Each structure stands twice: as structure tokens, then as C-alpha cells.
Amino acid sequence: MIETPYLLFLGDAPDMLATKVAIGIKDWRPDASVGQFRMEGCKADLGLPDMTIDQAIEAGAKTLVIGVANRGGVISASWKAVLLEALEKGMDIASGLHNLLKDEADLAAAAMMHGCTLFDVRVPLTEFPIANGKKRTGKRCLPVGTDCSVGKMYTGLAMEKEMHARGMKSTFRPTGQTGILITGGGIPLDAVVADFMAGSVEYLTPDNDADHWDLIEGQGSLFHVSYSGVTMALIHGGQPDALVLCHEPTRAHMRGLPDYQQPSLQKLRDVALTLARVANPACEVIGISVNTQHLSEAEADEYLAKVESEMGLPTVDPFRQGAGRLVDALAAC
């Protein structure tokens, strides 16, 4: 587990979009960060206190989190002085970049010298078992999408927030870099070796109290040919009791695949449920989460009502309306 509180490093971010990871941490774990570190020329601002390394340590920060991605996902040379200072003063560093912290000789040496840990959350740290398919105690919910990047992580985090507000037992279980940095732990499923994918999901969602819900972060889509194997492993390793269908209604084609169209929600429901029931015959689809960010509020309301009537399932945009109705459905499960 990555130790909190964090100092969010925004570096020389050219715009807000480049700090997506930091925004995710601030939105979903507002108490996890003491402040932000911005270098000269940084065009992003999370509205957190600007801090030097010394000020952050004074405020209790344990880990500097690289909350910015530059072109190519590399560790910029211009960041090095700051990162080295953080290590020298005893902070850990966490990163989800493609280029690994531990492959930078100067950072690796400084971390060793000062007894600090470098967390490269793209790399699995554990050897996972092959999945055994045994029924586990506790309950699990998995969002599945008509496409990649349709709001599966957001849906899971929004449901967890609502469940905690209601005093329900639940844990968001990250399976991707951003989710891991937001919560401090999880499994970078897309970096796990094929044979161990489903086993890693079993490991991530162990036996639990009968009334506890794991909210597993979804990945890819059964209908996205590049990543469908990862989604399949989530469905069978996660043995979900409940699925939430996730959709973004304005896509012209599948993300990154110009020749492929999104499936209908009916088709996603039928295929995902058939496969999920292999591992858990009691699995049900309990609701639909639609990312309506590219629709006006009136269009969104109309679209959600239409889908709800067609599918006969609670249909919400958790960003606009909260995840209350999805949690109601889960509670009734």
C-alpha cells in the first residue's frame, strides 16, 4: 500500500488534461493530499495549497505522487531535481507512467540510499495464482462497458462514495493505474501475464463479510477486440453478483477502432450476463450508468428516460445525478 497523505506533483503540466491522475485523486480522496507541487510554467491548478518539498513534509506528506503525464508517459529530466529532493528528504514516490521510476538509475540509487520506496503502479508486485473459481463469501459488483473509457471507474467510485455515506460495507477494488493511485492499492490488470489474470482478480477480491460489496474497477469491454480478454478475466475472476452496464452514447465508433461499432445495451447485457453466470449463476444486471457529458441536460434526461424504459433498469449518469439509484438496486440484490 502506498502511504498517505500525498503531495501531488503536477510538474510542468501544459494543461489540466495532463493532470487527470491528480484530478482523480483530489476528486475521490479529497483528504489524501496535503497540497500540490507546481514547477515554473505549470498550466494546471487543482486549487490545493502550493507547497515545497519541505512544506509538504512539515504538513505530514509521506508520498510524492506523479499526478501528471507528459507526452510518451516518460519521466521528464526537468522533474528530476524535485524527485531527488523528495527522496533525499525521506518521501516515497508513486507513479503510473510507462517509464518506470525504478529504471531511472539516479532515482533508484537515491531511494536505496535514503530508505524510500518507488511505487511503479504499472508493474504487478505480486506473483498471482491461477484462478481456482471457488465461490467466495461477500458480494461483488462489476461495471461492464459497451466500449473502453465510458465511465466504469467513475461509476464504481461514485457507488462506493454513496455506499459509505449510507454506512454500507464496500471497497473499491482498483484494476488500473489511476485507480491504484487514487486508493493506494490494487492490481494493474493489463500488465499481468495472461495465465494469471483471473487469479489476480480473485486475489484482489477475497472472502469478505456476507454484507460487504467489492466494487471492482472494470477494464476494456467484451466488445473491444484489443482488450476483451482482460474484461473476460474480470468477469470470471471477479465472479460478480451484480453487473452495471456502462455506456457513452455519442461515440462514432469503438475507441481506437474506426471499423467497429459499439454493441447495443441489450447485446452487452445478454453476452455479459451469460458469461458472468458461468462463474456465478446468481449474477444479475442491476442498473445502467451513462456518461452524458457530451449531451445537454435536456438531451441527457431524455436519453436516460428512453434507455430506462427500454431496458427496464435504473439508468443514471452518476456524475449528474449521483449513484443513489444504482446503490438502491444493489441494496435490493
* Stretch (H or E) spanning 315: strand 315-316
Decide if residue 121 touches its own copies (CB under 8 A): no
Q: From the CB of 22, what's the least distance to its own copies, in Å?
A: 24
Any contact of residue 174 with its own copies (CB under 8 A)?
Answer: no
Judged by CB under 8 A, the stretch of 206-214, 227-235, 292-300, 306-314 that binds its own copies is: 227-235
Nearer of residues 185 and 229 to its own copies, judged by Cβ: 229
- Under the criterion CB under 8 A, does residue 40 sit at the interface with its own copies? no
- How far is residue 86's CA from residue 53's CA, in Å, rounded to a whole number? 6
Residue 126 in the binding site for its own copies (CB under 8 A): no
Contact letters for its own copies, residues 190-219 (x by CB under 8 A): xxxxxx-xxx--------------------
CA angle 214, 219, 221 (to 5 degrees): 120
Residue from 222, 268, 295, 329 in contact with its own copies (CB under 8 A): 222
Euclidean distance between CA atoms 47 and 289, whole angstroms: 29
Closer Cβ to its own copies, 276 or 329, answer by number: 276
Q: Is 266 in the site for its own copies (CB under 8 A)?
A: no
Q: Which is nearer to its own copies, 168 or 271 (CB)?
A: 271
Stretch that binds its own copies, among 31-39, 142-150, 161-169, 184-192 (CB under 8 A): 184-192
Q: Is 138 near its own copies (CB under 8 A)? A: no
Q: How many CB atoms lie within 10 A of CB 152?
A: 30
Site residues for its own copies, 270-299, by CB under 8 A, read 271, 274-275, 278-279
Residues 102-111: contacts with CB within 8 Å, 24+ apart?
104/75, 104/80, 106/80, 107/75, 107/80, 107/83, 110/84, 111/87
Find the shortest distance in angstroms from Cβ 225 to its own copies.
Answer: 4
For residue 38, the number of C-alpha atoms closer than 13 Å in the C-beta half-sphere is 20
Query: Alpha helices, DSSP H only, in 135-176?
Result: 152-165
Cα→Cα distances 266→270, 310, 312, Å? 6, 9, 11
List CB contacts of 301: < 8 A, sequence separation 6 or more.
none
Site for its own copies in 234-253 (CB under 8 A): 235-237, 239
The C-alpha atoms of residue 102 and residue 118 are separated, in whole angstroms, by 7
Shortest reach from residue 328's CB to its own copies, in Å:
30
Binding site for its own copies (CB under 8 A): 130-135, 189-195, 197-199, 222-223, 225-233, 235-237, 239, 256-257, 259-260, 263, 271, 274-275, 278-279
